[in-house]
């Protein structure tokens, strides 16, 4: 097989959610990358994904929010969560996620700045990855190579050599790169080759995800619905006749998965029709997180770095991609050192652990509720149980309101005098929001300029910011988190810049 040598500042392995967004974030900061993707067409993830408002704010920076919304579910439809003894039975309980249009109205009426400037979006996984891949193809700084499989990595201290096979032409390429982003999913080759290992966080929750067509089931409810029964969770009404069933499978009873059609019929007990199976995915459901997200210049993001019992963690993957992308861009441009890169692992690993803990709690609460539904508990008992552990679905994802504006958290969102959202006026790199009017931010701006740290100066009238705004000088990071704030100029500007381009010890709550 012929071998050629290639070079790129950053190589991204995998064009799923994490890889596509890492490349788009790098491009947002002017950094070219090559993305190698093993598959030919877009990924088949027909599951319905909920991207929370906070993630949509991050995607809006990349001009993606409108495009994704257009590919998402009808903004006028709410999503109903129904608890029932079986899909053929009337629901014992119902909880409604308000429609995007309804939340937009509510958010507009909220004055505390904690509401996201973009409501959530519900979108099929295939629709999401399809749109992201299209953006990769259209971007002049991104070189997407499909049917290219990364097979080996030599993770040196100063450079990375990756071996990639082009299945279309039957060629081997050795790609020399400054940084490698391993976004190649749960069975990551990058992780294995870089010698990075996963730590298991709990017992596995094996399950089968069955995608099937059932016109009767898909049209049973007025709105798209998630139906939770004792033996299955079914998503229906979101994509024509297509339905998705998550079926828990006991670890010691793998024989039940041999015939998914029978299993589906048995679990759902559909009276009138035989569902047509489109795809079946078996998942081990082992919750795990990489012990380290990094080896020298090789980094992990998305499912290569962490997996939960159920794959409902698209927001964590988006946060990884944004967090890795802006830091790698800073390293390529030369204005940040190794401590900023180290901060990626500190922040994102903690975030993965926090998200998994939340997923574990909601899975436990759901199982308890399922057992009650199964045992035909009365409505009062179910309501009491729901109050104990309400559905853990926060469509905003902006974190606690009282933390808004505190370093490590998102600033409150508000509209400026001309009607623009503050968030739309933030720069791609750092932004200094300055309400001193006396130029008290100039020392920090000059110090940043001397070090090559790009900072956009955003002077505002004090009256423009909402009550309780955290400081007269507020420095915002590229991922829209407050990096530093004070009521006057810092005594030591370099110390502030060291801190904001270094590793933080706090838990970042809201990406
Ligand atoms: C079937 C399924 C159902 C899901 N359901 C939900 C849900 O209900 N809710 C939710 O929030 N999220 C859901 N997700 C999304 C998931 O939680 C993540 O957000 C996302 O899939 C993880 O993205 P990733 O990019 O890290 O990994 P992946 O999506 O696995 O992407 C990895 C990519 O890398 C490519 N690749 C692998 N190895 C190589 C190699 N050696 N060289 C080159 N390319 C390679 C693969 O082809 C793939 O395109 C689902 C995902 C899947 C797959």
Distance 45 CA to ligand 1 centre (A): 8
Please answer whether residues 326 and 479 qualify as being in contact, where contact means their C-beta atoms are separated by less than 8 angstroms.
yes
395 vs 386: CA distance, rounded Å: 18
Strands 171-182, 298-300: pairing kind: parallel
Please compute the mean of the pLDDT values over residues 488-510 and round it to a whole number: 77
What is residue 332's predicted lDDT score, i.e. its pLDDT?
96
End-to-end CA distance of the chain: 44
Nearest CA to ligand 1 atom 37: 184
DSSP track, 335-352: SS-HHHHHHHHHHHHHHH
SS (H, E, C) 303-318: HHCEECCCCCCHHHHH
Residue-wise pLDDT for 97-133, tens only, equals 999 999 999 999 987 889 999 999 999 998 999 999 9
21 vs 199: CA distance, rounded Å: 25
Check pocket membership of 321 for ligand 1, CB cut-off 6 A.
Answer: no
pLDDT band at 403; cut points 50, 70, 90: confident
Distance 317 CA to ligand 1 centre (A): 9
Query: Is residue 376's pLDDT more than 60?
Result: yes
CA dihedral 7, 8, 14, 15 (to 10 degrees): -130
Please answer whether residues 209 and 246 qualify as being in contact, where contact means their C-beta atoms are separated by less than 8 angstroms.
yes
What is residue 266's predicted lDDT score, i.e. its pLDDT?
83
Check pocket membership of 13 for ligand 1, CB cut-off 6 A.
Answer: yes
463 vs 481: CA distance, rounded Å: 22
Angle at 272 between CA 270 and CA 276, to 5 degrees: 70
Please compute the mean of the pLDDT values over residues 454-469 and round it to a whole number: 89
DSSP track, 408-434: TSPPPP-B-TTS-BHHHHS-SSEEEEE
Please compute the mean of the pLDDT values over residues 474-486 and round it to a whole number: 96
pLDDT band at 275; cut points 50, 70, 90: confident
Burial environment of residue 231 by CB neighbours within 10 A (0 to 12, 13 to 18, 19 or more) = middle
Pick the CATH number of 3-72+110-200+287-367 from 3.40.50.300, 3.40.50.620, 3.50.50.60, 1.10.10.10: 3.50.50.60
What ligand 1 atom has the least distance to the C-alpha of 14?
A: 34
Check pocket membership of 300 for ligand 1, CB cut-off 6 A.
Answer: no
Check pocket membership of 397 for ligand 1, CB cut-off 6 A.
Answer: no
User: Percentage of the chain surpassing pLDDT 70?
Assistant: 95
Check pocket membership of 38 for ligand 1, CB cut-off 6 A.
Answer: yes
For domain 401-500, is the CATH number 3.40.30.120?
yes
Check pocket membership of 165 for ligand 1, CB cut-off 6 A.
Answer: no
What is residue 1's predicted lDDT score, i.e. its pLDDT?
72
Query: Is residue 272's pLDDT more than 80?
Result: no
Check pocket membership of 303 for ligand 1, CB cut-off 6 A.
Answer: yes
Query: Is residue 183's pLDDT more than 60?
Result: yes
39 vs 21: CA distance, rounded Å: 17
Check pocket membership of 248 for ligand 1, CB cut-off 6 A.
Answer: no
Residue with more model confidence, 271 or 80: 80
Nearest CA to ligand 1 atom 38: 184
Which residue shows structure tokens 């991204």? 12
Query: Is residue 364's pLDDT more than 70?
Result: yes
* Phi, then psi, of 49 in degrees rounded to 5: -105, 140
Mutation pick for ligand 1 pocket among 11, 12, 19, 309 (CB with most ligand atoms within 8 Å): 19
| Of 307-321, 432-446, 494-508, minimum mean pLDDT range | 494-508
What is residue 190's predicted lDDT score, i.e. its pLDDT?
98
What is residue 389's predicted lDDT score, i.e. its pLDDT?
66
What is residue 507's predicted lDDT score, i.e. its pLDDT?
42
pLDDT band at 451; cut points 50, 70, 90: very high
pLDDT mean across residues, the chain: 90
Cβ atoms within 10 Å, residue 54: 26
Query: Is residue 505's pLDDT more than 60?
Result: no
Distance 86 CA to ligand 1 centre (A): 30
Residue with more model confidence, 135 or 399: 135
Query: Is residue 387's pLDDT more than 60?
Result: yes
Nearest CA to ligand 1 atom 31: 16
Please compute the mean of the pLDDT values over residues 314-322 and round it to a whole number: 97
What is residue 128's predicted lDDT score, i.e. its pLDDT?
95
What is residue 362's predicted lDDT score, i.e. its pLDDT?
78
Check pocket membership of 100 for ligand 1, CB cut-off 6 A.
Answer: no
Q: Which tokens sit at 158?
A: 């100063």
309 vs 204: CA distance, rounded Å: 7
What is residue 508's predicted lDDT score, i.e. its pLDDT?
44
Query: Is residue 510's pLDDT more than 60?
Result: no
Check pocket membership of 21 for ligand 1, CB cut-off 6 A.
Answer: no
Burial environment of residue 252 by CB neighbours within 10 A (0 to 12, 13 to 18, 19 or more) = exposed
Mutation pick for ligand 1 pocket among 148, 308, 314 (CB with most ligand atoms within 8 Å): 314
Numbers of helices and strands, H then E, in the chain: 14, 24
319 vs 58: CA distance, rounded Å: 8
Distance 188 CA to ligand 1 centre (A): 11
Closest CA to 291 of 250, 221, 352, 208: 352
Q: DSSP H helical segments within 255-313, as ranges?
A: 260-268
Please compute the mean of the pLDDT values over residues 42-55 and round it to a whole number: 84
Please answer whether residues 93 and 379 qualify as being in contact, where contact means their C-beta atoms are separated by less than 8 angstroms.
yes
Cross-strand bridge partners of residue 154: 161
Q: Which tokens sit at 323?
A: 């967090």
What is residue 509's predicted lDDT score, i.e. its pLDDT?
46
Mutation pick for ligand 1 pocket among 126, 303, 355 (CB with most ligand atoms within 8 Å): 303
Distance 16 CA to ligand 1 centre (A): 5
The pTM of the full predicted model, rounded to 2 decimals, is 0.94
Query: Is residue 92's pLDDT more than 90?
Result: no
């Amino acid at each position: 097989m012929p071998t050629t040598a290639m070079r790129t500042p950053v190589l991204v392995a995998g064009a799923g959610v994490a890889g596509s967004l890492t490349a788009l974030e790098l491009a947002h900061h002017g950094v070219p990358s090559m993305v190698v993707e093993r598959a030919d067409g877009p990924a088949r993830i027909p599951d319905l994904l909920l991207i929370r408002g906070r993630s949509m704010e991050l995607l809006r920076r990349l001009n993606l929010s409108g495009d994704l919304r257009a590919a998402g579910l009808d903004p006028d439809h709410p999503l109903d969560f129904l608890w029932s003894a079986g899909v053929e039975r009337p629901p014992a309980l119902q909880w409604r996620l308000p429609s995007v249009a309804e939340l937009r109205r509510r958010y507009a009426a909220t004055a505390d700045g904690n509401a996201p400037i973009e409501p959530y979006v519900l979108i099929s996984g295939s629709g999401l990855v399809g749109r992201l891949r299209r953006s990769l193809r259209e971007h002049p700084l991104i070189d997407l190579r499909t049917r290219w499989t990364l097979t080996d990595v030599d993770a040196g201290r100063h450079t990375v050599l990756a071996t990639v096979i082009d299945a279309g032409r039957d060629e081997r390429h050795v790609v020399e790169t400054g940084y490698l982003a391993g976004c190649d999913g749960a069975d990551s080759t990058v992780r294995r080759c870089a010698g990075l290992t996963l730590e298991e966080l709990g017992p596995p929750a094996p399950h089968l995800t069955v995608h099937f067509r059932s016109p009767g089931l898909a049209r049973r409810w007025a709105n798209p619905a998630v139906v939770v029964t004792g033996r299955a969770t079914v998503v229906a009404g979101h994509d024509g006749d297509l339905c998705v069933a998550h079926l828990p499978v006991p670890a010691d009873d793998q024989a039940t998965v041999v015939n998914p059609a029978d299993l589906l019929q048995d679990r759902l007990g559909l009276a009138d029709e035989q569902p047509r199976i489109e795809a079946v995915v078996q998942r081990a459901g082992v919750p795990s997180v990489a012990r380290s997200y990094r080896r020298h210049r090789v980094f992990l993001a998305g499912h290569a770095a962490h997996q939960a019992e159920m794959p409902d963690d698209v927001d964590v993957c988006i946060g990884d991609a944004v967090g890795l992308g802006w830091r790698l861009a800073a390293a390529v441009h030369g204005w940040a050192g190794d401590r900023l890169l180290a901060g990626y692992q500190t922040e994102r690993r903690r975030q993965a652990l926090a998200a998994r803990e939340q997923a574990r709690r909601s899975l436990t609460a759901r199982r308890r509720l399922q057992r009650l539904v199964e045992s035909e508990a009365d409505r009062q008992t179910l309501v009491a149980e729901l109050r104990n552990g309400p559905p853990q679905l926060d469509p905003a994802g902006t974190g606690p309101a009282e933390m808004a504006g505190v370093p490590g958290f998102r600033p409150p969102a508000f509209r400026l005098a001309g009607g623009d959202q503050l968030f739309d006026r933030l720069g791609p790199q750092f932004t200094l929001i300055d309400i001193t009017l006396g130029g008290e931010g100039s020392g920090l701006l000059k110090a940043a300029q001397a070090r090559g740290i790009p900072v956009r100066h955003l002077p505002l009238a004090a009256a423009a910011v909402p009550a309780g705004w955290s400081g007269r000088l507020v420095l915002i990071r590229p991922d829209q988190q407050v990096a530093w704030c004070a009521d006057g100029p810092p005594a030591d500007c370099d110390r502030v810049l060291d801190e904001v381009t270094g590793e933080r010890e706090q838990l970042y709550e809201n990406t």
